[in-house]
């Protein structure tokens, strides 16, 4: 029902004109300088919701969960501005801990996404993910005139069933990965932009096993995704590391594309196309065979990772580059430095076809000459030069069991030489020789050919990482003393001489 309210701004009648003023009032026209009429509709603001009972799912995270609409409020004809405030709270809480949206003027709708509503239920009202909560909403029309009361809608109830969101981070770790079982260095998978519960790993995997932790915490009691024991294309979520620790196995080393869907608990492991070359050779006067393109020295292709090639030898002052063939100079592809006289600490290379383009090379100087392990990774498109040093490791040697910072043997004219005490700290100790320092499984070892081998027997084998056998030379009573040890890796000759 419409109510007409007349408010007289001036009740003073101008002398001689009372009839005229009365006519103005009754006709509701003219005389605005003396009288103003205000119209109030008496309308109450109304709130409605698009849903009353919702089951939220992560697959619909970006969709709208609920939309609120409300009618316009009334300023009771005052001309004052109206702003709108929407509140949501747990049912029966009298909006004491409400989520408040203050919209300002001329806003009559609010949509809330599935993801936001799910997080809100957990953060504001402490609802455990996966449980339901009864909520209610109301809207207030706030009138910018203290003489007019704010208009508050009726309460609209609705129910929400929440979901447990999957992890926002996922990592891969295991003997099949480049980082092994070092969980603090686990490799992060990349989430999909449109479906953040889908993660992708694209990279090298070697024969071994892997699984997926949700973070890099150095704990094996954290949450993991592991293989479903009944199906290698399905996953199970092991909360706190519980459950069967079934891992995926890689049989053949290669680049792989691994796609994981944490909602569907599915996994796809796809082997990618192999390396572009099966041979790599070193060419240049810094290398053992010089500029001999007809019979250059070749790299060894890694059996577990065919994209990785290694070569170890003495590098002398001069230049070098890498060919993917042997024969004539312009018959194939070259791996060249990215600039002239490139230093050995640079890791980039460019592919040059035949005799086209700039023929840039790496430069070995008098200061950088020495024995190197060269690793070329065709997948990562990197080349790495690592100077090879030998270290005596064991309680019968000078460094003890210190693999982190052992003292190196001296490299002289292509041979490694040690002169010093054996058995000084342990007269019946043992030792072996590493080609690296850092962690126990991070490189190659020179092991004795047999277990507890006498130091008079200089036969040796090369072992990789922790694959073993972990044979050592064993000092016996009377062996302690001063020794010269010489290792010639080019000719596989070792000598141990007591002084």
Q: Which residue reads 């030998």 in tokens?
A: 390
All structural domains of the chain with their residue ranges: 3-40, 47-161, 171-271, 281-386, 391-498
Q: Give the tokens for residue 415.
A: 């041979």
Residues 6+ apart with CB under 8 A from 217: 183
- For residue 394, what pLDDT is reported? 97
- For residue 39, what pLDDT is reported? 37
- For residue 218, what pLDDT is reported? 87
**CATH class of the domain whose range is 47-161:** mainly beta
CATH 2.40.50.100 describes domain 171-271: no
| HSE-up (13 A, CA, CB side) for residue 447 | 19
Q: Tally Cβ neighbours within 10 Å of residue 447.
A: 21
- For residue 22, what pLDDT is reported? 39
Q: How many Å apart are CA 234 and CA 254, to the nearest integer?
A: 22
Q: Tally Cβ neighbours within 10 Å of residue 302.
A: 16
- For residue 157, what pLDDT is reported? 97
- For residue 66, what pLDDT is reported? 97
Same fold, 47-161 and 171-271: yes
Partners of residue 444 on adjacent β-strands: 464
- For residue 377, what pLDDT is reported? 94
Among 85, 48, 87, 49, residue whose Cα is nearest residue 65: 49
- For residue 304, what pLDDT is reported? 81
Topology of domain 391-498 in CATH is Immunoglobulin-like (2.60.40)
- Containing 266, the helix (H) or strand (E) segment is strand 266-271
- For residue 241, what pLDDT is reported? 77
- For residue 380, what pLDDT is reported? 86
Q: Give the tokens for residue 420.
A: 């010093």
Q: Give the tokens for residue 109.
A: 């709708």
Please give the CATH number for the structural domain made up of 281-386. Answer: 2.60.40.3620
Q: Along the 499 residues of the chain, how does pLDDT read in single tens digits?
A: 333 333 333 333 333 334 444 333 344 444 333 333 333 344 589 999 999 999 999 999 899 999 999 999 989 889 999 999 999 999 999 999 999 999 999 999 999 999 999 999 999 999 999 999 999 999 999 999 999 999 999 999 999 999 999 999 999 999 999 888 999 999 999 999 999 999 999 988 888 999 999 999 988 889 999 999 999 999 999 988 777 899 999 998 888 999 999 999 999 999 988 898 999 999 999 999 999 999 999 999 998 888 999 999 999 999 999 999 988 899 889 999 999 999 999 999 999 999 999 999 999 999 999 999 999 999 889 999 999 999 999 999 999 999 999 999 999 989 999 999 999 999 999 999 999 999 899 899 999 999 999 999 999 999 998 988 999 999 999 999 999 999 999 999 999 999 9
* Phi-psi domain of 400 (left: phi exceeds 0; alpha: psi -120 through 50; beta: other): left
Distances (CA, A) of 168 to 190, 224, 269, 338: 10, 13, 21, 39
- For residue 50, what pLDDT is reported? 96
- For residue 252, what pLDDT is reported? 86
């Amino acid at each position: 029902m419409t109510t007409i309210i007349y408010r007289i701004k001036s009740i003073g009648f101008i002398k001689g004109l009372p009839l005229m003023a009365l006519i103005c009032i009754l006709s509701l026209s003219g005389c605005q300088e003396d009288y103003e009429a205000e119209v109030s509709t008496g309308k109450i603001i109304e709130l409605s919701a698009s849903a009353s009972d919702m089951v939220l799912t992560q697959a619909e995270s970006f969709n709208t969960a609920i939309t609120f609409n409300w009618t316009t409020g009334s300023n009771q004809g005052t001309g004052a501005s109206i702003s709108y405030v929407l509140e949501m709270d747990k049912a029966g809480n009298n909006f004491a801990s409400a989520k408040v949206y203050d919209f300002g003027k001329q806003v009559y709708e609010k949509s809330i996404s599935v993801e936001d509503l799910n997080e809100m239920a957990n953060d504001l009202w402490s609802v455990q993910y996966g449980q339901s909560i009864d909520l209610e909403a109301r809207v207030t029309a706030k009138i910018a005139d203290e003489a007019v009361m704010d208009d508050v809608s009726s309460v609209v109830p609705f129910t929400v069933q929440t979901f447990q969101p999957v992890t926002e981070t996922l990592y891969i770790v295991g003997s099949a990965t480049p980082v092994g079982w070092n969980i603090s260095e686990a490799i992060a998978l990349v989430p999909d932009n449109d479906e953040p519960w889908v993660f992708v790993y694209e990279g090298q995997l070697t024969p071994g096993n892997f699984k997926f932790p949700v973070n890099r915490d150095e704990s094996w009691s954290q949450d993991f995704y592991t293989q479903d024991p009944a199906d290698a294309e399905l996953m199970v979520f092991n909360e706190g590391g519980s459950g069967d620790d079934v891992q995926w196995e890689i049989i053949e080393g290669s680049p792989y594309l691994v796609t994981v869907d944490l909602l569907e608990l599915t996994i796809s492991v796809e082997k990618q196309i192999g390396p572009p070359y099966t041979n790599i050779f070193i060419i240049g006067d810094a290398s053992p065979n010089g500029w001999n393109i007809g019979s250059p020295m070749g790299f060894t292709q890694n059996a577990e990772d065919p994209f990785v090639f290694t070569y170890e030898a003495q590098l002398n002052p001069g230049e070098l580059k890498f060919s993917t063939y042997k024969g004539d100079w312009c018959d194939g592809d070259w791996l060249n430095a990215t600039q002239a006289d490139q230093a050995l600490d640079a890791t980039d290379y460019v592919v040059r076809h035949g005799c086209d383009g700039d023929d840039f090379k790496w430069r070995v100087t008098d200061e950088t000459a020495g024995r190197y392990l060269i690793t070329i990774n065709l997948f990562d498109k990197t080349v790495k030069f690592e100077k090879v040093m030998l270290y005596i490791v064991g309680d019968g040697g000078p460094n003890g069991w210190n693999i982190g910072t052992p003292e190196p043997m001296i490299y002289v004219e292509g041979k490694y030489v040690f002169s010093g005490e054996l058995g000084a700290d342990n007269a019946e100790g043992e030792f072996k020789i590493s080609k690296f320092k850092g962690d126990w499984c991070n490189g190659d070892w020179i092991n004795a050919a047999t277990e507890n081998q006498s130091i008079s027997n200089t036969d040796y084998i090369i072992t990789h990482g922790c694959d073993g056998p972990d044979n050592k030379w064993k000092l016996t009573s009377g062996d302690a003393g001063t020794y010269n040890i010489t290792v010639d890796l080019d000719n596989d000759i070792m000598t141990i001489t007591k002084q």
